[in-house]
Structure 1
Amino acid sequence: MTQTRIDRRFADLKRQGRAGLVTFITAGDPDQATSLKLLKALPGAGADIIELGMPFSDPMADGPAIQASSQRALAAGQTMVKTLRMVKAFRENDDSTPIVLMGYYNPIYIYGVDRFLKDAVAAGVDGLIVVDMPPEEDAELRPPASEAGLNFIRLATPTTDAKRLPAVLANSSGFVYYVSIAGITGTAAPNLADVGAHLARIKAATKLPIAVGFGVKTREQVSAIARIAEGVVVGSALVSAIAQSLDAEGKATPETGPKALALVEQLASALRAPAAAAAL
């Protein structure tokens, strides 16, 4: 596979001597227009890589915050066509920030795998995280996605043992997403000692960058994880910031964008401060 935007971004982060901030939002939450504005503003707020959630009615690996974001997006009429259109609109002004579509196989299957891959590449998508597609069941999507030039990013978890790890890493590209807690998203804080031990084991088996997510909410957590991983993923905290800015009917308010972006700026500053200090 030729070098992708994800490969280039992690190479650039390595040159800068810092970890990257990976931000997750759900496409179309709370509505298409607000979501697109937020998507376009994320890099300026400090996002190095963007995970864009594909709304799904049964997001079984996600906690209440991201489940609710999917429901809001679907209620507002979000579709796969609109999600890919958002990526295309983002690419009009940003050709460097990687975008990873994250979600479940059902919406891709319904859209049609061949059509999806063709349209995703044309829109400017860089990678896929499909949480309910383990290595044993990825034949319909992973090989053609890789052939299309998309990174296929796999999840490793605290329960991924030495026997299982080779299967997870085989045919992975872009980066490895390490799920720092056992369970659903946004429901517990990661134990950094445990995370460090697991990352050491994974790093011994792959040269891919590792991004750590699930439960990361504070500047202090971001700073600590950045010392042991190449990327820090913030999802539920960002989606919750969006939710907290909505009105009583779940609609966007003038605070929706600023509140979410302020959180991104705060967390991103934890990654840039050490590099800035070292440069003095």
Structure 2
Amino acid sequence: MNRLDQKLRELKQEKRSGLVCYFTAGDPGFVESSNLFSQLGQAGADIIEIGIPFSDPVADGEIIQAAHIRALSAGQTVNKTIELVKEIRLKDNKTPIVFMTYLNPILQYGFEKLVCETENLIEGILILDAPLEYQDHFKLILNAKNMHLISMTAPTTPVERLEQISASATGFLYHVAENGLTGGNLNLPNLEKKIAEIKPIFNIPIAIGFGIKNESHVKALANKADLIVVGSALVDTFFKKGVNATLEKVRAFSQVLKQTK
């Protein structure tokens, strides 16, 4: 098992939902990212999701779009994102790391090259704009290195499509809470119904992301979703208030999940 598999097993044994923390690599700079990311696991992040900066992040809202632009302006690249993970692993060799990316930057860099260079450093990759029908090649490369291609679904994904995705999904499923961009608004009753619909179809943990902004959202989803992804709220805090305030917010989210069993 890789770090992600081990963490998911631990969460199941503890009978609690896990906290996934998203940040954009190199925002607002490489040193700042390295400093924060190296402390996330200790602060309570169960999984770290690192966005590879891209000039046209069409699925992201204003907060994360701005983070991509800042990171690119600071000189962040795919290669520097790999270097960033190497630095994190010097201080935290336990917390699972998953890349979140668009196709363009990883195809330009070379997908097989990326996977080879991150072997034993990260546990999986989520490609936002890779349709199911084009994923087999990526899965083969990742599986050979004991890594996961993280599958995604949306509120509009029909049952037949969910079943197709579930047939080859590994690691965990990332379900987008609301149609739209990251940082949008949650409709919790509808989301809870959708989670109940998805869970019997998949035999892997279900992560919920997009629009989870505060402790009340986290508490409402605790033990309904297996993993809860917080992105925009943390990215915004990091940019405006710095490392310590961000770690404090991570601790607060983590405590909510540990107390809600």
Q: TM-score range by the shorter chain?
A: over 0.9
- SS of 1:56's equivalent in the other structure is coil
Q: How far does residue 170 in structure 1 lie from its aligned partner after superposition?
A: 2.8
Name the residue aligned to 1:168: 165
Q: How far does residue 42 in structure 1 lie from its aligned partner after superposition?
A: 0.6
Single out whichever of 232-241 and 135-144 deviates more from structure 2: 135-144
Give the letter aligned to residue 150 of structure 2: I
Q: 2:197 aligns with which of 190, 201, 208?
A: 201
- SS of 2:108's equivalent in the other structure is helix
RMSD of equivalent CA atoms:
1.2
- SS of 1:102's equivalent in the other structure is strand
Give the letter aligned to residue 21 of structure 2: T
Q: How far does residue 94 in structure 1 lie from its aligned partner after superposition?
A: 2.1
Name the residue aligned to 2:187: 191
Q: Deviations over 1:87-127 (max 9, x none)?
A: 111112322210000010111101112211100115x0100
Q: 2:156 aligns with which of 155, 159, 162?
A: 159
Name the residue aligned to 1:133: 130
Q: Note the residue ranges of structure 1 that are not aligned, 5 or more in a row.
A: 246-255, 276-280
- Kindly indicate whether the alpha-carbon contact (under 8 Å) linking 2:139 and 2:148 is maintained by their aligned counterparts in 1: no
1:95 pairs with 2:90: no
Q: Deviations over 1:130-176 (max 9, x none)?
A: 00001112244222122221111111110011121122223211100
Aligned length: 261
1:266 pairs with 2:249: no
Give the structure-2-normalised TM-score. Answer: 0.96
d(CA) in 1 for partners of 2:213, 2:258: 17
1:9 pairs with 2:7: yes
Name the residue aligned to 1:23: 21
Name the residue aligned to 2:235: 239
Single out whichever of 137-146 and 55-64 deviates more from structure 2: 137-146
Identity among equivalent pairs (%): 39
- Kindly indicate whether the alpha-carbon contact (under 8 Å) linking 2:16 and 2:257 is maintained by their aligned counterparts in 1: yes
Name the residue aligned to 2:55: 57
d(CA) in 2 for partners of 1:274, 1:224: 9
Name the residue aligned to 1:248: none
d(CA) in 1 for partners of 2:91, 2:34: 12
Q: Please say which structure displays the higher CA radius of gyration.
A: 1
Name the residue aligned to 1:221: 217
Give the letter aligned to residue 183 of structure 1: G
Name the residue aligned to 2:145: 148
- SS of 1:13's equivalent in the other structure is helix
